[in-house]
Amino acid sequence: MKPPPFEYHAPRSLGEALDALAGAGEHGKVLAGGQSLIPLLNMRLVAPAHLVDINRLAELAAVDVEPGGVRVGALARHAAVERSGEVAAAQPLLRQALRLVAHPVIRNRGTVVGSLAHADPAAELPAVLALLKGSIRLARPGAVRDVAAEDFFTGPLESAMDPGELAVSAFFPAPPPRSGTAFREVARRHGDYALAGIAALVALDDEERITSATVACVSLGPVPVLVDVTEAVGHRPPESADWASAARAVQDRIEPEADIHATAAYRRHLAGVLTEQALRDAAREAVGA
């Protein structure tokens, strides 16, 4: 289990990194935390000819809390974002989800933007970005573009990122006023990929009636599945909301697959249970907000 050989690039500036990636084109791959890429290399499931290591680009490690949300740089480790009190205050869902990402030791090295660029539908962070309607900033020499989460994730491990582009940051919008978030998942062992997971966002009006309720699903489709369940729960206070109807709405939308870990029917069952739990948690947080 050793990685195949590759040409190694160790750029010292963002410009050098973009040039190296542009030169490598479809044969290039970015190395940030490596917690998904290096297992794939070790198992020889991928064999990029060029690896562009961005670990020397300290400028990409920034985590900026802005008035509208949190911007996370490409080299910001999961652990740094998880531990930041400022981030947790600005967007609580990030910490709620990051605690479920693999194990603490993996989070010391893995990066938030790397998890997004990897676009694994079984991963937590793509669902977070989708739920919050965030975006990813992609750069190539002389050009930068922002891609909305709904357009970014195009399939399992597939994204709208073109060969030669670098995901330089991700933006997680702040929650609306009087809203709450929650993340629930079931995994066979703590830290494993979830059999199913649900991220929920519930917002209330001044009379504490639900004005919007949405969930994003993990491991329940080829991409993070976003379901607006506002109609299903009804424009009511959380204590009389129809959570069960929301759970059914989610179960109707998803297309879970069966594998060695769980049947599709079991995943669908989990999706319903987790949707109810996550929505209740999020509503409780919204009432306190």
Partner 1 sequence: MHEITLTVNGVVRQASVPARRLLSDCLRHDLGLTGTHVGCEHGVCGCCTVLLDGEPVRSCLTFAVTVDGHDVTTVEGLADPDGTLSPVQRAFAECHGLQCGFCTPGFLCTVTALLRDNPAPSDEEVLEGISGNLCRCTGYQNIVKSVHRAAEIMAEEPWAGAAGSPRVVPEDPRAGEAGDTSR
277 makes contact with partner 1 (CB under 8 A): no
| Piece of the chain touching partner 1 by CB under 8 A; list 99-107, 177-185, 257-265, 280-288 | 99-107
| Piece of the chain touching partner 1 by CB under 8 A; list 33-41, 90-98, 147-155, 273-281 | 33-41
Q: Is 160 in contact with 117 (CB distance < 8 Å)?
A: no
Name which of 111, 274, 134, 262 is nearest 193 in CA terms: 262
From the centroid of its chain, how far is CA 3? 27
Beta bridge partners of 191: none
Among 62, 89, 105, 258, binds partner 1 (CB under 8 A): 105
Hey, which bits of the chain come out as E strands?
A: 7-9, 28-31, 50-53, 63-66, 69-73, 135-140, 143-148, 153-155, 158-159, 166-173, 179-187, 194-204, 210-218, 225-228
Q: Give me the least distance between CB of 131 and partner 1, in Å please.
A: 24
61 makes contact with partner 1 (CB under 8 A): no
- Output b/e per residue, 98-109; b: 16+ Cβ within 10 A: bebbbeeebbeb
25 makes contact with partner 1 (CB under 8 A): no
H-helix or E-strand containing 249? helix 243-253
| Piece of the chain touching partner 1 by CB under 8 A; list 96-104, 113-121, 262-270, 272-280 | 96-104
190 makes contact with partner 1 (CB under 8 A): yes
Can you give the length of the chain in residues?
A: 289
Of the pair 43, 144, the CB lying nearest partner 1 is at 43
Among 19, 22, 23, 38, binds partner 1 (CB under 8 A): 38
15 makes contact with partner 1 (CB under 8 A): no
List all residues 6 or more positions away from 129 whose beta carbon is below 8 Å from its beta carbon: 116, 135, 136, 149, 152, 170, 172, 224
Q: Give me the least distance between CB of 284 and partner 1, in Å please.
A: 21
| Piece of the chain touching partner 1 by CB under 8 A; list 27-35, 89-97, 199-207, 224-232 | 27-35
- The count of residues interacting with partner 1 (CB under 8 A) is 31
76 makes contact with partner 1 (CB under 8 A): no
173 makes contact with partner 1 (CB under 8 A): no
Map tokens 């300290």 to a residue. Answer: 58
Q: Is 187 in contact with 193 (CB distance < 8 Å)?
A: yes
211 makes contact with partner 1 (CB under 8 A): no
11 makes contact with partner 1 (CB under 8 A): no
- In the chain, the amino acid numbered 175 is P
7 makes contact with partner 1 (CB under 8 A): yes
| 117's tokens | 């660029």
Q: Is 276 in contact with 243 (CB distance < 8 Å)?
A: yes
Among 18, 21, 24, 31, binds partner 1 (CB under 8 A): 31
Among 104, 141, 156, 176, binds partner 1 (CB under 8 A): 104
4 makes contact with partner 1 (CB under 8 A): yes
Name which of 174, 165, 274 is nearest 229 in CA terms: 274
Q: Give me the least distance between CB of 40 and partner 1, in Å please.
A: 9
Q: Is 267 in contact with 196 (CB distance < 8 Å)?
A: yes
Residues that bind partner 1 (CB under 8 A): 1-8, 10, 31, 34-35, 38-39, 41-43, 51, 53, 55, 79, 102-106, 108-109, 189-191
